[in-house]
Amino acid sequence: MPRARVNGVDLYYELAGDGDPLVLVHGSWGDHFNWVPVLPALAERHRVLVYDRRGHSGSERPPGQGSRTEDEDDLAALVEELGLAPAHVAGNSFGAPTALGLAARRPGLFRSLVAHEPPLMGIVTADAGRGPVSQDSRMQDMQAKVDSVLAHLRAGETFEGAHQFVEEVAIGPGAWDGFPEVVRETFLTNAPTFLDEQDDPGWSSLDLDGLSGYRGPALLTTGTVSPPWFPVIIARLAETLPQAQVRQLVGAGHIPHVTHPAEYVQNLTGFIEAHT
């Protein structure tokens, strides 16, 4: 199992393919395995790096409260350690703020930036021009479900928390039973890190002034069947990034690389090739 000691932690990683480097940053609860549906096709054109973020699956889980800044520093150190900088970087869900936050601080590490549905509620909740997303009844309902998930996890009810997150927050009814056993085990293994992420005071906000200094190509995407607050977040980020493009992935939701792998690959590689 390949590991790299970077930024004070051991991170599990895998490399595949040849070509310009492409780094894939997974979201909460998951790990590098989430990218399996798209990895072979992407590796035909790129040197692809997938890895487990700290606290997830094969990587080290340090004690104490973590922060997204640590994830950003891990990503920077891993890319440099493996000699991949500058790289195309694509993040999904919580992995997208990790990529965006690093781009704000270390833009020279990026050839391009792709972010799908970053849950950055902190950058729009006080946006009077659009109406605070926090006052949307659908958002309030979703926040109540997330709070219930966190309550389960804090009570040590890992299965209940993971099951509710999958069925009521991330995907939908019946999804848990449809998962392969290895995927369910991954959710249960990484549940403590989701709780840790949510306890980070800065997890949902971003340095927009810093991000405006990123001048490279950027692609911001949402799915047409995703919750309605993601387009609001994407619109705010598009105002900030000088070269941002915004696309909707038709029929897709929060994890398009899993549910619509062919479309995800076509969208990602087409964007990269247009800016290479």
pLDDT digits (tens, 9 = 90+) for 194-248: 999 999 999 999 999 999 999 999 999 999 988 888 999 999 999 999 999 999 9
Tokens 């997303």 belong to residue: 133
Given a cut of 90, is residue 3 above it in pLDDT?
yes
Nearest Cα neighbor of 28 from 192, 232, 148 is: 192
Nearest Cα neighbor of 87 from 99, 97, 95 is: 99
Q: What is the pLDDT of residue 126?
A: 53
Provide the pairing of β-strand 110-116 with 218-223: parallel
List the beta bridge partners of residue 49.
15, 23
Q: pLDDT band for 129, please (50, 70, 90 cuts).
A: very low
**Do 182 and 221 meet the contact criterion of CB atoms below 8 Å apart?**
no
CA angle 76, 266, 90 (to 5 degrees): 15
Given a cut of 90, is residue 92 above it in pLDDT?
yes
Half-sphere exposure in the Cβ direction for 71 (13 Å, CA): 29
Instruction: Walk me through the domains of the chain, giving residue ranges and CATH numbers.
Output: 3-127+203-274 (3.40.50.1820), 133-198 (no CATH)
